[in-house]
Amino acid sequence: MPRNDRNGAVAIGFHLLFIAFILAPLVVVVLVSFTDKGFLAMPFGGASLRWWWAIGDNPRFLESFWFSLQLAFVTATLAALVAVPAALAIVRFRFPGREALMALLASPLMIPHVVLGVALLRFFAGLGLVGSFVALAAAHLVVVVPYMARLVTAALAGLDPRIERAAESLGAGRLAVFRRITLPLILPGVAGGWTLAFITSFDELTVSLFLASPSATPLPVRLFTYIDQMTDPLVASVSAALIAVTAVVLVVLDRFYPIDRLLTGERRA
Amino acid sequence: MATASTSDFLVLDGVAKSYGPVQAVHDVSVRVAQGEFLGLLGPSGCGKTTTLQMIAGFEAPSAGQILLEGRALAGIPASKRNIGLVFQSYALFPHMTVAENVAFGLEMRRVPKPERQARVARALDLVHLTHLADRFPRQMSGGQQQRVALARALVIEPRLLLLDEPLSNLDAKLREEMQVELREVQRRVGVTTILVTHDQQEAMALCDRVAVMQGGRIVQIDAPWRAYDAPADPFVADFLGRSNRLLAKLDGGAAEAAGHRFPLPAPLAALRGEVALAIRPERLRILPAGQPGLPGMVHSRVFLGGFWLVRVETPCGDMLVTVQNTGTPPAEEGAAVALDWDAHSLRRLEAVA
Amino acid sequence: MSASRFAPAALSAPAVLALGVALLLPLGGIALLSFQGFDFDKGIIPRWDLANYASLATDSLFLEALARTFRIAVIVTVICLAIGVPEAWIIHRMAPRWRGLMLLVVVGPLLVSVVVRTFGWMVLLGGNGLINQGLRALGVPGAPFRMMFTEFAIILGLVHVMVPLVVLAVWASLGRLDPALARAAESLGAGRLTAFRRVVLPNIMPGILAGALMVFCLSASAFATPAMLGGRRLKVVSSMTYTEFLNTLNWPLGAAIAVLLLLAILAVTLLWTRLVERRALRRLGVG
């Protein structure tokens, strides 16, 4: 690459400021989590792990953590079961209503989460299901389906249909073609979509706020309501733990599914 | 085979295909003999691939029927037709090794494992790929992938082998090698084969007969050398190799063009009036100026190894001449020359454009 | 061939069923609810009129929140474009081994919960927060400044949440761009800035415009960041809806606010794609 394709000093300076801006709040949270004070302070005056141990003494956070894990797992799996067949219909067939189906699958992206939250609150209140796992899973399913559908559709569109035809000409029926050829080849897309759906569900706050109950409180809701009442370094240590988990997931994920492709649904960067 | 004679192994009877208002294939009728190698040749959009897809079972004809061994194929899904297919893109399964690719069709037929392995080994041996059985497609060259695709289609012992532009992704030298190999394998296996291609050279090299298609119709179907020698119309003349057009006045037995009088072959002797004649570049001879012949001037000459391609400007338009390379270059650019030919090399083009 | 006629219906059935029940029905329900009445003693009154909308039209608190919501969304969008587009271009021009890492750093925070990210800004912006501590240590006159519970804080927090989306959208369209284009322009005598402005920018414009729309809609409908950094007094439309539903319990009024928010977002999306994006695409000879 010729030299004049490189960034100049001004560009590098801008980039460093940008990175500092992006990382500042995350770094600060991690630092504060190591303070030995009883209030939000940097650990330079005295560091300890007391607020990390405090997470263990606070069963509410652990409960919510497990609850969120289960919720995210169920949500992402349901999303795959719903989105994979729909993506197959969209990519492999031309039929009346195809455009409408595409719009329907993408529509939750355009709906403000507060609106979705109140709509589902009203709906599940009528069914007596507010505060149930079922209501939260259904709500999260709606939120994550667009991401899943986008990635699976991209994976299918990138698959040469002649490969499926070749399998058919060799004697494979529709089911065998799907199981032996199509599914293995779109698996990276499905796995990427599943992971993105999992993370999105795990992080979801706004819709959950409307549907949560004391016995069914996802972690972001627990954290939000806790911060609403008090801000002590426990919030920082819980947040730092979440940042750490996300960072690990991110680095592992990036190995097999580049993050820009995951988030944009593009096949190649 | 009891129900159909070997010359009617595959029959396309008035097959047509339309997509809404677009008519992709019009009324195509062909009879293919058992063991024959037939080429469907034509430019892109001529309907040849659609015809192939209908035989394979991926498109349903809008009209007409297709019979294989005397039985109509309509309603039989592609997976039950037992027709081998090789794609231009090879369409190898990227997540399977070479051996797994080749074994796939046998697995679908629930062939027991020991027999499966033996047949895969034989198929790979046929295409000289035994040593690459455990490779994945992406680790192989285009030519190797193409042979895997061929082995995969042949191992199921198909009733019919369909080749969709199988060699057009290969470079020129490899393409020629693969042509020889493909022809050899087809002969050895004896499978009835249909090749779809836009490459006239490929069709002529491989096929027993070629069906030249244009605008969704078959315009001529014949042995390659016969179609080349006696093209049915200007399109075929142009599409099968190069051809020169010569507009001449015929007056019974002889013809005149730009003041040059020349004799006509017997089949054309009865014709009179303005007629378009065709003559192949290799049938023209370049003589020094002043000799009897059509006068002209060398416009350009291009060296192509085995021969020279010379463009000669004449009063009847530019003529292409191929001259065998004998070690001495032909007439220089700008030189005055005369063109001569044997009367029996002249063909009449049906339509005057 | 009959199988293929029913296959699309069978394949799309789960999605249509799931989204029909958990999305379309509830949205229809909330729209109906917005026409009903409310009494603090009797709860929801089965009445059908536009009273909720009429009262919102004259409710100064709501109108103030509405104006604030769209003001903030516009400012956030402009800032995100101003810093996100150059950042994407800079990352795009980096050596490959840096490119992946930097993209990970910039885009990765998208996968961290908004609550956590916004909490970081609470720590930084508080009256006794790190920024004010730093300013006081430097002896800046007037410090500490009041930053929490201001529109400034909301905007800062939202820019932080949204800007990776712009980088990502622009990055994706840069990836589709033929790298030879900018060089071709430079070989024809265009300077680097001119090459970017005349050749690169028009080609990535669809990505920029799509990113802008996404940021605007998400900012206008954001809840967590305005609620945490704006406090109880600086209401935006989202937090107002939340209050009506979970504190005041006037669901019909809350429903009317939600319906207005949804309609506003849909209208902006429609206008933007019709008027702005289509023009940009037409310049590229698409659509």
Residue B331 located in a structural domain: yes
Are B290 and B338 spatial neighbours (Cβ–Cβ below 8 Å)?
A: yes
Chain centroid to Cα B312, Å, comes to 29
Phi-psi group of C234: left, alpha or beta (phi > 0 → left; psi -120 to 50 → alpha; rest → beta): beta
Tell if the CB–CB gap between B156 and A180 is shorter than 8 Å: no
**Which residues of chain A lie closer than 8 angstroms to C242, CB-CB?**
114, 117, 209-210
Residue (of B71, B74, B70, B72) closest to B61 by Cα position: B74
Task: Report the pLDDT value the prediction gives residue C196, as an integer from 0 to 100.
Answer: 83
Homologous superfamily of domain range A61-264: MetI-like (1.10.3720.10)
Tell if the CB–CB gap between C117 and A26 is shorter than 8 Å: yes
pLDDT tens digits, one per residue of B137-185: 999 998 899 999 999 999 999 999 999 998 888 888 888 888 988 999 9
CA-CA distance, C27 to C22, in Å (whole number)? Answer: 9
Task: Report the pLDDT value the prediction gives residue B118, as an integer from 0 to 100.
Answer: 96
Tell if the CB–CB gap between A120 and C251 is shorter than 8 Å: no
Mean pLDDT, residues C153-170:
95
Task: Report the pLDDT value the prediction gives residue C185, as an integer from 0 to 100.
Answer: 81
Domain-terminating residue out of B197, B217, B238: B238
Q: What contacts A165, CB < 8 A, 6 or more positions away? A: B56, B58, B78, B85, B87, B91
pLDDT tens digits, one per residue of C238-256: 999 999 998 888 999 999 9
Nearest Cα of chain B lies from the Cα of A118 at a distance, in angstroms, of 46
pLDDT tens digits, one per residue of B132-147: 999 999 999 988 999 9
**Which residues of chain A lie closer than 8 angstroms to B94, CB-CB?**
163, 185
Secondary structure (3-state) at B296: strand
Same domain, B257 and B146: no
Residue B189 located in a structural domain: yes
Q: Which amino acid is at C249?
A: L
> ∠ CA(A203), CA(A207), CA(A209), 5° rounding?
90
pLDDT band of A266, cuts 50, 70, 90: low
Task: Report the pLDDT value the prediction gives residue B159, as an integer from 0 to 100.
Answer: 94
Same domain, B192 and B139: yes
Looking up residue B209, the CATH number of its domain turns out to be: 3.40.50.300
Nearest Cα of chain C lies from the Cα of A26 at a distance, in angstroms, of 6
Nearest Cα of chain A lies from the Cα of B232 at a distance, in angstroms, of 35
Task: Report the pLDDT value the prediction gives residue B353, as an integer from 0 to 100.
Answer: 35
CA-CA distance, C204 to B76, in Å (whole number)? Answer: 49
Tell if the CB–CB gap between A40 and C7 is shorter than 8 Å: no
pLDDT band of C141, cuts 50, 70, 90: confident
Residue B23 located in a structural domain: yes
Nearest to B79 among A160, A171, A181 (CB): A171
pLDDT tens digits, one per residue of B252-261: 778 888 888 8
Task: Report the pLDDT value the prediction gives residue C2, as an integer from 0 to 100.
Answer: 42
Residue of B nearest to A170 (CA): B105
Label the pairing between strands B285-288 and B272-279. unpaired
Nearest Cα of chain C lies from the Cα of A116 at a distance, in angstroms, of 7
> H-helix or E-strand containing B256?
strand B254-257
Q: Chains A and C: how many Cβ contacts under 8 Å? A: 271
Q: Which amino acid is at A194?
A: W
Domain that holds residue B147: 6-238
Q: Mutate which of A42, A55, A74, A115 to disrupt the C interface (most C C-beta within 10 Å)?
A: A115
> Would you list the DSSP string of C150-201?
SHHHHHHHHHHHHHHHHHHHHHHHHHHS-THHHHHHHHTT--HHHHIIIIIH
The residue ranges of every structural domain in chain C are 48-283
Task: Report the pLDDT value the prediction gives residue C236, as an integer from 0 to 100.
Answer: 94
Same domain, B155 and B179: yes
Nearest Cα of chain B lies from the Cα of A77 at a distance, in angstroms, of 24
Are B121 and B113 spatial neighbours (Cβ–Cβ below 8 Å)?
A: no
pLDDT tens digits, one per residue of B107-117: 999 999 999 99
Mean pLDDT, residues B188-199:
94
Return the C-alpha torsion angle C236, C240, C242, C243, nearest 10.
Answer: 140
pLDDT tens digits, one per residue of B201-236: 899 989 999 999 999 999 999 999 999 888 888 888
Count of Cβ atoms closer than 10 Å to residue B294 Cβ: 22
Total structural domains within chain B: 2
Domain-terminating residue out of B178, B210, B238: B238
**Which residues of chain C lie closer than 8 angstroms to A69, CB-CB?**
none
pLDDT tens digits, one per residue of A244-263: 988 988 888 888 788 888 88
Nearest to A123 among C25, C100, C192 (CB): C25
Residue of B nearest to A183 (CA): B95
Tell if the CB–CB gap between A118 and C241 is shorter than 8 Å: yes
Looking up residue B246, the CATH number of its domain turns out to be: 2.40.50.140
CATH domain C48-283 topology: MetI-like fold (1.10.3720)
Are B51 and B216 spatial neighbours (Cβ–Cβ below 8 Å)?
A: no
Mean pLDDT, residues B316-329:
90
Task: Report the pLDDT value the prediction gives residue C286, as an integer from 0 to 100.
Answer: 61
Nearest Cα of chain B lies from the Cα of A150 at a distance, in angstroms, of 23
Nearest to C112 among A15, A26, A112 (CB): A26
* Percent of chain C whose pLDDT exceeds 70: 97
Averaged confidence pLDDT in chain B: 90
Q: Which residue has the tokens 């209030």?
A: A39
Same domain, B232 and B107: yes
Mean pLDDT, residues B235-250:
87
**Which residues of chain C lie closer than 8 angstroms to A24, CB-CB?**
120, 124
> Sign of the CA dihedral A130, A133, A136, A142?
negative
Mean pLDDT, residues B9-19:
94
Residue B276 located in a structural domain: yes
Label the pairing between strands B83-86 and B160-164. parallel
- What interface predicted TM-score (ipTM) does this complex get? 0.91
Same domain, B179 and B295: no
Task: Report the pLDDT value the prediction gives residue C191, as an integer from 0 to 100.
Answer: 77
Residue (of C39, C35, C70) closest to C54 by Cα position: C35
Mean pLDDT, residues A132-146:
96
A250 or A135: which leads in pLDDT: A135
CA-CA distance, B196 to A122, in Å (whole number)? Answer: 62
pLDDT tens digits, one per residue of C162-194: 999 999 999 989 988 887 887 788 778 787 778
Same domain, B37 and B91: yes
Task: Report the pLDDT value the prediction gives residue B2, as an integer from 0 to 100.
Answer: 43
pLDDT band of A267, cuts 50, 70, 90: low
Tell me the pTM. 0.85
* A57 in contact with B, Cβ within 8 Å: no
Q: What contacts B227, CB < 8 A, 6 or more positions away? A: B210, B212, B220, B221, B236, B240
Same domain, B106 and B207: yes
pLDDT band of B3, cuts 50, 70, 90: very low
Structure tokens, A47: 């560091």
Return the minimum-mean-pLDDT range out of A134-143, A255-264, C151-160: A255-264
For residue C287, pLDDT over 60 is answered with no
Residue B353 located in a structural domain: no
* Percent of chain B whose pLDDT exceeds 70: 97
Nearest Cα of chain C lies from the Cα of A156 at a distance, in angstroms, of 14
* C50 in contact with A, Cβ within 8 Å: no
Task: Report the pLDDT value the prediction gives residue C13, as an integer from 0 to 100.
Answer: 95
**Which residues of chain C lie closer than 8 angstroms to A203, CB-CB?**
111-114
B252 or B23: which leads in pLDDT: B23
Task: Report the pLDDT value the prediction gives residue C160, as an integer from 0 to 100.
Answer: 96
Same domain, B322 and B197: no
> ∠ CA(A226), CA(A228), CA(A232), 5° rounding?
60
- Contact partners for chain C, using 3 or more CB pairs closer than 8 A, are A
pLDDT tens digits, one per residue of A148-199: 999 999 999 989 999 999 999 999 998 999 999 999 999 989 999 999 999 9
* A171 in contact with B, Cβ within 8 Å: yes
Residue B190 located in a structural domain: yes
Count of Cβ atoms closer than 10 Å to residue B25 Cβ: 28
Mean pLDDT, residues A84-90:
95
Q: Mutate which of B95, B119, B162 to disrupt the A interface (most A C-beta within 10 Å)?
A: B95
> Sign of the CA dihedral A252, A255, A257, A258?
positive
Domain-terminating residue out of B202, B221, B238: B238
For residue A6, pLDDT over 80 is answered with no
**Which residues of chain A lie closer than 8 angstroms to C116, CB-CB?**
26, 29, 223, 239, 242-243
The residue ranges of every structural domain in chain A are 61-264
Nearest to B105 among A160, A171, A181 (CB): A171
pLDDT band of A268, cuts 50, 70, 90: very low
- β-partners of residue B245 are B278
* B77 in contact with A, Cβ within 8 Å: yes
Same domain, B211 and B249: no
CA-CA distance, B31 to B218, in Å (whole number)? Answer: 12
Same domain, B45 and B73: yes
Tell if the CB–CB gap between C29 and A118 is shorter than 8 Å: no
Are C181 and C203 spatial neighbours (Cβ–Cβ below 8 Å)?
A: yes
Task: Report the pLDDT value the prediction gives residue A40, as an integer from 0 to 100.
Answer: 83
